[in-house]
Chains A and B, each alone.
Chain A
């Protein structure tokens, strides 16, 4: 987790990590792993893939540490690696994402065409699950880049400037993509917030 009250700790960890100190890098992982994991979860909609990608992100970061020049915060740099890894996975995927993260008591592979009729799932749980499925389905229709921007802006609440840093593009590109992504999501989810 970020600890803004001790900024020099992170600088110290970075210096030592860049010199090959694995225990210092371990400290950096501990600081940022949850944020990175949760960011990736939002992108890839699968906890197991998110765990793998989180690890891959930190491994890539270790390999690229010599190239980190400190012009952006370390977290922003790591987030960019995570976002790129997530986008790569989303592009490689051909199947629909498994909605495993938050669906209520019974969570079924999205590939299943039917659901079990146990009658034991509370009605309110099903409603939330259905809303979540609709949201996930809508997010899937976005391109990986647009999805990343929606997540970074609407969920992670980053500024346009921060998003531009994470994605390695201009703020204008961020705002344009955000506009189109919002329009698309709005069209697909308007009935949801009117109904519920």
Chain B
């Protein structure tokens, strides 16, 4: 299960103008937006089909439907049962995967580009996308597997912290829904709920397809038609509403039998198409987004040895996702690490970065562009973000420019307007040992 944080983080990367892949883009007759990048060096093709059908679309009483649908897709389609789906794909070395987060439900196929292998793989994929059967006999097994997953989540202090964080920060907002649902919801989902959800959200207006690999543009058009061309046009769902910030600081302490305390401290952050996107992204890079050399890592890990992992991040989602500082430390050090983190954040918000820090961040982000599109897999990830979040097609080729044009004052100003260290949610999980 990906959380869409990961996918979104991919969107925060770019390429220099020269190295940017050429993106073919068109809208299909039924409204599906299609994107294709041609690369012939390796005889393989990668397809990603994504729907705005993540857990943010779960009906209020049945949290978990979005993920349940995502997991059931490969359990039967057209004339095939789940066993046959797997057999057909794996006997030709093709790989299928399905993942769902809060914003997106994503399906991926990787196949060799040689015929007849590619044709056979696409044929099966096409049936999964357009003719899933949600067979009764796979329903209980899938439910059981999801429920075990929810239980395993409860034995991980990090997962418990994340659940508590989203739950309190987003309250009644759809982003409070965990990506794979909650036990009560999953236990009560009926086959009809899955069919209803599929019919509502798996429609042309709500879908994108991304193709990267060893195909011509004409072939890509034909495969896209085959895979998603028969979906009904449908309509886009209403936008997810905006979320509100907390009015004041709030602390949650969850007792957990672990040697470490997991801390998550944060607030509502920014959306993917936020006007402050670049200043906030760069500022966070300096604060806690650049590994060992970030300010937080310097203060918490390098100077005091308090944590192995400490970082801060904005998760830019369709609507503002969270901004948070996250670390784990031995239980008896939790209060100290918490205080140091907030002090570091406060100092950064008040004074902004130094000119040297901004210059280093600029060099790191722009200098690393070639690394970010160095494989088909990375290209596909970037294009999916552009596609799903409807970013401009020249997003990658203008990315360096956008980074280079951010000023010290813009970073400082954006942090002061958008980050509120006195209206933070503090979640601490651990301490019970």
Does B associate with A?
A: no
**Could you list which residues of chain A lie within 8 angstroms of chain B, going by C-beta atoms?**
none
**Could you list which residues of chain B lie within 8 angstroms of chain A, going by C-beta atoms?**
none
